Structure 1
Amino acid sequence: MSDRIDKLLTDYYSGVVEMEIAMRKADLKFPVTRDENIGGGKPVNKQSRSLDDILIREDEDTVLNELTAITRRYERLKTLISTFTPEYNQIASLRYNRRRGKHTWVHISLLLHLDEKTCRARLSELKKAISDKNNLF
């Protein structure tokens, strides 16, 4: 269970899902089409509505729908984290944000002027509160 919470927090603080959503939308904007109609005729009465086609592709894409569901889960996580003090959020951000690099517990304790055990205890309290909320998984 702890591994799932660690992955959830790492993805949340690192912005992985937002990046995946942006990449998937870019993939859907420029689809790779292969014309296998060699020597055949082209449709005469076809109207081109590129914006409508893009919106339909985004609405029907299962991968994008799963990523938006994960985004809703992160919104609930953000609401839960906002109930804690900013110190808890800062400890979790320093520990799980991979864009800034992985900080050790010693480095986190020096940055926040706290004891290493205190930092670990506060992060475990945050993780326990997340695990108590079963609607996040």
Structure 2
Amino acid sequence: MADTIDALLSDYFSGKIDMQVKLRKLELKTSLVHDENIGGGKAQNKHVRPVDNMLIREDEDTVLHELYKLRNQQQMITDVLATFDYELVRMASLRYDRRKRKNEWKYIALIFNADESTCRKRIRKFKKEFSNKFWKFD
């Protein structure tokens, strides 16, 4: 249970879900069809609508729909985090954001002018309260 909460908070604070959505949309934009008809004739009454085709591909993509579900879950996490103290959320952000590489306990304790064990206890308590609120909200 603690590993799932850690992974969920790490993905949330690192912005992984938004990055995956953008990456999937870029993957869908790239054309997979290579026209090997060199020197041949082209169809004359064929209508090419690239925007419509792109919207259809995004609408039918199951991976993108799963990522949108995760984005909705991300909004629920934001709502749950709004119920906590700002300082505690900032501490969790420093701990779980993988992009900053400053998630060591010494660094966090230095910023909040507290002992490392105190910071660990506060994060442990935060995770417990977060999991109770999040799974109840979910």
TM-score when normalising by structure 2: 0.87
User: Could you tell me which residue of structure 2 aligns to residue 127 of structure 1?
Assistant: 127
User: Could you tell me which residue of structure 2 aligns to residue 94 of structure 1?
Assistant: 94
Equivalent pairs, count: 137
Query: Residues of 1 paired with 2:111 and 2:102: CA distance?
Result: 14
Whether contact under 8 Å (1:109, 1:119) holds in the other structure is yes
Offset, 1:103: 2.1
Q: 1:125 to 1:43 in 2, by over 3 A?
A: farther
Whether contact under 8 Å (1:13, 1:97) holds in the other structure is yes
Query: Residues of 1 paired with 2:2 and 2:69: CA distance?
Result: 21
Query: Residues of 1 paired with 2:82 and 2:41: CA distance?
Result: 60
Q: 1:109 to 1:123 in 2, by over 3 A?
A: same
User: Could you tell me which residue of structure 2 aligns to residue 111 of structure 1?
Assistant: 111
Query: Residues of 2 paired with 1:116 and 1:29: CA distance?
Result: 47
Offset, 1:77: 0.4
Structure 2: where are the runs of 5+ without partners?
none
Whether contact under 8 Å (1:96, 1:102) holds in the other structure is no
User: Could you tell me which residue of structure 2 aligns to residue 73 of structure 1?
Assistant: 73
The RMSD of aligned alpha carbons is: 2.3
Offset, 1:104: 1.5
Query: Residues of 1 paired with 2:34 and 2:129: CA distance?
Result: 50
Task: Give structure 1 regions of 4+ aligned residues with deviation exceeding 6 angstroms.
Answer: none
Whether contact under 8 Å (1:77, 1:136) holds in the other structure is no
Structure 1: where are the runs of 5+ without partners?
none
Offset, 1:107: 1.5
TM-score when normalising by structure 1: 0.87
Offset, 1:135: 5.9
Identical columns (%) = 45
Amino acid at match of 1:134: W
Q: 1:136 to 1:97 in 2, by over 3 A?
A: farther
Deviations 1:6-44 (A, max 9, x none): 111111111111111111101111121145889x97544
User: Could you tell me which residue of structure 2 aligns to residue 21 of structure 1?
Assistant: 21
User: Could you tell me which residue of structure 1 aligns to residue 61 of structure 2?
Assistant: 61
